[in-house]
Structure 1
Amino acid sequence: MAALKLLVMMVVVHLLGGAVTTTTTTTTKHAASTKPGPRFQVFRVRETISGSKTRPAKTTSYQESSESNQKFEGKWKLNLVHRDLLSSTNLSDHRRRLDERLKRDAARVVSLTRRLSGGHGDAAMYEVEDFGSEVVSGMDQGSGEYFVRIGVGSPPRDQYMVIDSGSDIVWVQCKPCNQCYQQSDPVFDPAESASFLGVSCSSTVCDRLENAGCHAGRCRYEVSYGDGSYTKGTLALETLTFGTTEVQNVAIGCGHMNHGMFIGAAGLMGLGGGSMSFVGQLGGQSGGAFGYCLVSRGTGSYGLLVFGRGAMPVGAAWISLLRNPRSPSFYFVGLAGLGVGGIRVPISEDVFRLGALGDGGVVMDTGTAVTRFPKPAYETLRDSFIAATAGLPRANPVSIFDTCYDLSGFETVRVPTVSFYFSDGPILTLPAKNFLIPVDDGGTFCFAFAPSSTSLSIIGNIQQEGIQISFDGANGFVGFGPNTC
């Protein structure tokens, strides 16, 4: 592991518009003393506008596994789709889709900030009459942006599931459904599954839930989300199927009362760092390894979710995961600084530091869209970007975006690079489409970062799109590359 970390500290990664290059340096502390990356890149304006109206064909069954056996032996891959695929929202109405996305994003950020910045405990925040003293409150995570399709039960019933890197519960809507939102597939009926097994209140699995509830001898759960969505029901052990690969005895929530904006999904697959998440339950079977590539807006293609050894690509640049004692479910990373045009901007590393009590820090989150930085760091980044784009025509602010451009008269433009300088050494330079996003169909683009009112920073899914990201939970690393996708 020491050798691996030394290698990590010697790698500088540049991801530019689909190209990845790797160079080495003798630096062992910070990337600030390494060779600067490219200063500018070409942004294809027309291609980005037309691409934002494209959607892939709808998935009709869960993805075939990369292994043909009936038990876990290494890896499998699943297609990832964005929630717009399942939404009834008019695809051509780009501004409406953006407004809805930013509303969800705002709720997500509020909930993360409340959870990670020393707010009241979840049980104190969410009191639901139906549970009374038996309420078990989950983390207030929001309803997610990306979906996979898997089989639930025996025989397997196809279901869309939201993925969430900051949640630790796997759950599906279940019959009898006292209250259910509308989903794309028939609601799961545990009576029709030969592998469904309810969890008793005395079970060690029930003990893993914080403040677990009990009713008629059955373990009860509840998860409340920042946008007002929730699920509550009983805990059970069930078989989940990925193509031809079966994973047995997965602890899932069987939700009999559910409410929210889950856009057709049957439930949620938590991928957080806790023991009750799907990754945590796989344990030694997967080595705590998983990875994803979030589909880029407008590519007309699917993203990928990978478990096991297939999630650990050779040649990736690895940085350390940081453990937050306040909330171990989240994936925190050490960010040392930011760069514009190949030059590190003057921001103190202390702005991004995770405090000893779990305050501040930088979390990677699949459910947040727009990356947030504390206001002083954001303003410095923004002002540096504005100075480097002085030749581009400006447009009025849009929603949370205060820096926008009118690119309606351009086919392509030359823009400065934007980079993340990580504490372990690597520099991640974003493709231009990951920080300049269209906000209408007429050529208005905005700088896709926003200020945070607290010390918490969040690396959102817009900045993660199209980049191969892998998590090695057992050894405490997250990797980028070596390929874009």
Structure 2
Amino acid sequence: MARKAPSPFPSINIFIILFFFFSFTLSPFSPQVVSASVFKRLRLLSTEETQPTSTSSVLSLSLHPHSSVIKPPYDSYSDLVLSRLASDRARAEVINSNIERALSAFNRPHGIKPDVQVQPEDLEAPLTPSGGAYAARVGVGQPVKEYYLIADTGSQINWLQCLPCDPCFNQSDPIFDPSGSSSYSPLSCTSQQCTALSPDYKCGQNNTCIYRALYGDNSVSIGEFATETVSFGSSGSVQKVAIGCGLENQGRFGKAAGILGLGGTAVGFPSQIQAKSFSYCLVDLDSSSSSTLEFNSVPPGDSILVPLIMNPKSEIYYYVELTGITINGEQVPIPASDYQIGEDGRGGIIVDSGTTITALPAQVYNSVRDTFVKYAKNLPPAAGIGDLDTCYDLSSTPTRDGFPMMSFQFSGGKTLPLKPQNYLFRADSDGTFCLAFKTTSQSVSIIGNTQQQGFRVTYDLANKMFGFSPNKC
């Protein structure tokens, strides 16, 4: 029976956040240190009374650039770009920090404490409220209420803000009221969905599971973990999906109501609805158009199929083997050590929906940049901005005049041609565009959403394949 979720905590301030940190890490219900189970894929829930209703039909959500949901409050487009770049830097640091903690927990002998301790700011990837992400329109509850949730392949916990939240952040939709939904059901502390959150949960009053989602930008959501009916527009619904009901929330969520975590763990949304695949087609970040986020759809027939690799020591992220980048027929080789996951679980390249600019090791980026500059002599140069050091003034450049041809090369000899809008990124409102690549000193490289725009990108989880299909979205 639906009921109003009790608020388990007082208003958040710095002392409360510290209290949460120590109380969670010292709780008998969660270890003092990160458990390998946080990052390791757990088996699909099969015996739990609250198991999601299985479905193999195609389910579809509308997918919108975050900046079309809420216009970011910046004085100039250049400021917006700088904010996106800053979010990318923070996101890369947290992704790598998550992997390092996973490796520390995974590799240590049984009974030996790892060196890496849980830090509140490291538990999830940072958000991108600056408009560098995409938001899905998701139906929640019975009767159905629709909300914008940030679709994030770098997060695993699904949650939305709930009444009676205190404090609450601003969102574009009315806040979800669990007492008004007949399908809302709190999870117990011993449920498989709750324990799969370890160490990101605590046992609250009446044996109720309390989740926490703390992000690299100091945003936070803490509340009741429950099951609820999730609806996909006119394409159907799935019952008993584990989702957080955020009662203590603060931070910058860009007026979205919460997070749709697409990461590859048992509490991630694809596993929760038992989807065999998911796919999206990304429109331009600054577009007012929308596309779709689909589950259980097959890759289009013209898809370029390449292996989807799961890191056995850190399975929240989706890896691909990028072996080279070709510019006007000249191949820029990428050393195997830069595109393969090492035996220690480090390295490799992930595909990420929440990162804007592709990040490569310095030696690879320098080769890409220098080769590109060699073939882009007809493009008038412009000053760089932030992390983007190779820019051009295209305010008066005719369409397709002087643009090099670029493509990605993947393991198995597969080639993905890129259009100029996939390798040049708008940097201001005056016609300056920059090469949409940058250097990273982190272990893991990232293919950002600029290179994914205009493609139907399929994550075929059943067959462990990526599909890239040219699409007008």
TM-score, reference length from structure 2: 0.80
Question: SS of the counterpart of 1:247?
Answer: strand
Query: What is the Cα deviation at residue 185 of structure 1?
Result: 1.2
Contact 1:335–1:349 (Cα < 8 Å) also in 2: no
CA distance in 2, matches of 1:124, 1:349: 31
1:104 aligns with 2:87: yes
Match of 1:126 in 2: 119
| Pair 446,233 (structure 1): closer, same or farther in 2 beyond 3 Å | same
User: Per-residue displacement from partner, 1:369-420 (whole Å, max 9, x unpaired)?
Assistant: 0000011000011011111112332212211111111233323322112221
Query: What is the Cα deviation at residue 188 of structure 1?
Result: 0.9
Contact 2:270–2:278 (Cα < 8 Å) also in 1: yes
CA distance in 2, matches of 1:338, 1:266: 38
Contact 2:125–2:154 (Cα < 8 Å) also in 1: no
Q: Partner amino acid for 1:278?
A: F
Q: Partner amino acid for 1:263?
A: G
Contact 1:238–1:251 (Cα < 8 Å) also in 2: yes
Contact 1:170–1:253 (Cα < 8 Å) also in 2: yes
Question: SS of the counterpart of 1:187?
Answer: coil
Question: SS of the counterpart of 2:403?
Answer: strand
1:180 aligns with 2:190: no
CA distance in 1, matches of 2:301, 2:464: 17
Query: What is the Cα deviation at residue 127 of structure 1?
Result: 4.4
Match of 2:451 in 1: 463
Contact 2:152–2:259 (Cα < 8 Å) also in 1: yes
Match of 2:267 in 1: 276
Match of 2:290 in 1: 302
User: Per-residue displacement from partner, 1:174-210 (whole Å, max 9, x unpaired)?
Assistant: 1121211111111111111111111111222222222
Contact 1:342–1:419 (Cα < 8 Å) also in 2: no
Query: What is the Cα deviation at residue 290 of structure 1?
Result: 0.8
User: Per-residue displacement from partner, 1:433-464 (whole Å, max 9, x unpaired)?
Assistant: 11112212222211110001123210001111
Answer with 248-257 or 324-333: which moved more.
Answer: 324-333
User: Per-residue displacement from partner, 1:113-133 (whole Å, max 9, x unpaired)?
Assistant: 2223458779934349xxxxx
Q: Partner amino acid for 1:397?
A: G
Q: Partner amino acid for 1:252?
A: I
Question: SS of the counterpart of 1:408?
Answer: coil
Match of 1:139 in 2: 124
Instruction: Give the one of 66, 70, 86 matched to 1:83.
Output: 66
| Pair 118,125 (structure 1): closer, same or farther in 2 beyond 3 Å | closer
Contact 1:165–1:272 (Cα < 8 Å) also in 2: yes
| Pair 207,455 (structure 1): closer, same or farther in 2 beyond 3 Å | closer
1:95 aligns with 2:78: yes
What value does the CA root-mean-square deviation take over the aligned residues? 2.3
Answer with 386-395 or 148-157: which moved more.
Answer: 386-395
Query: What is the Cα deviation at residue 103 of structure 1?
Result: 2.3
Q: Which blocks of at least 5 consecutive residues in structure 2 are unaligned?
A: 1-52, 106-113
Contact 2:135–2:256 (Cα < 8 Å) also in 1: yes
Match of 2:380 in 1: 393
User: Per-residue displacement from partner, 1:280-334 (whole Å, max 9, x unpaired)?
Assistant: 1122xx3x211000112455421221111x3432232211111212320110011
CA distance in 1, matches of 2:166, 2:144: 23
Match of 1:477 in 2: 465
Q: How many percent identity over aligned positions?
A: 37
1:434 aligns with 2:422: yes
Q: Partner amino acid for 1:191?
A: S
Query: What is the Cα deviation at residue 266 of structure 1?
Result: 0.9
Instruction: Give the one of 358, 380, 387 matched to 2:367.
Output: 380
1:207 aligns with 2:195: yes
Instruction: Give the one of 320, 324, 343 matched to 2:311.
Output: 324
Question: SS of the counterpart of 1:213?
Answer: strand
Match of 2:38 in 1: none
Counting only pairs closer than 5 Å after superposition, residues 216-231 of structure 1 correspond to structure 2 as: 216=205, 217-231=207-221
Query: What is the Cα deviation at residue 278 of structure 1?
Result: 1.1
Match of 1:343 in 2: 330
Contact 1:235–1:251 (Cα < 8 Å) also in 2: yes
Contact 1:219–1:235 (Cα < 8 Å) also in 2: yes
Instruction: Give the one of 215, 240, 247 matched to 1:249.
Output: 240
Contact 1:159–1:265 (Cα < 8 Å) also in 2: yes
Query: What is the Cα deviation at residue 156 of structure 1?
Result: 1.2
Q: Partner amino acid for 1:218?
A: T
CA distance in 1, matches of 2:73, 2:163: 31
CA distance in 1, matches of 2:334, 2:56: 46
CA distance in 2, matches of 1:257, 1:300: 31
Q: How many aligned positions are there?
A: 404
CA distance in 1, matches of 2:392, 2:101: 37
Contact 2:378–2:402 (Cα < 8 Å) also in 1: no
CA distance in 1, matches of 2:444, 2:470: 28
Match of 1:153 in 2: 141
1:265 aligns with 2:256: yes
Query: What is the Cα deviation at residue 149 of structure 1?
Result: 1.1
Match of 2:50 in 1: none
CA distance in 2, matches of 1:239, 1:445: 44
Contact 2:279–2:459 (Cα < 8 Å) also in 1: yes
Answer with 344-353 or 319-328: which moved more.
Answer: 344-353
| Pair 202,300 (structure 1): closer, same or farther in 2 beyond 3 Å | closer
User: Per-residue displacement from partner, 1:329-349 (whole Å, max 9, x unpaired)?
Assistant: 110011111111122124323
Higher strand share: 1
Query: What is the Cα deviation at residue 252 of structure 1?
Result: 0.5
1:355 aligns with 2:345: no
CA distance in 1, matches of 2:250, 2:413: 44
CA distance in 2, matches of 1:438, 1:202: 49
Question: SS of the counterpart of 2:273?
Answer: helix
Match of 2:39 in 1: none
Q: Which blocks of at least 5 consecutive residues in structure 1 are unaligned?
A: 1-69, 129-136
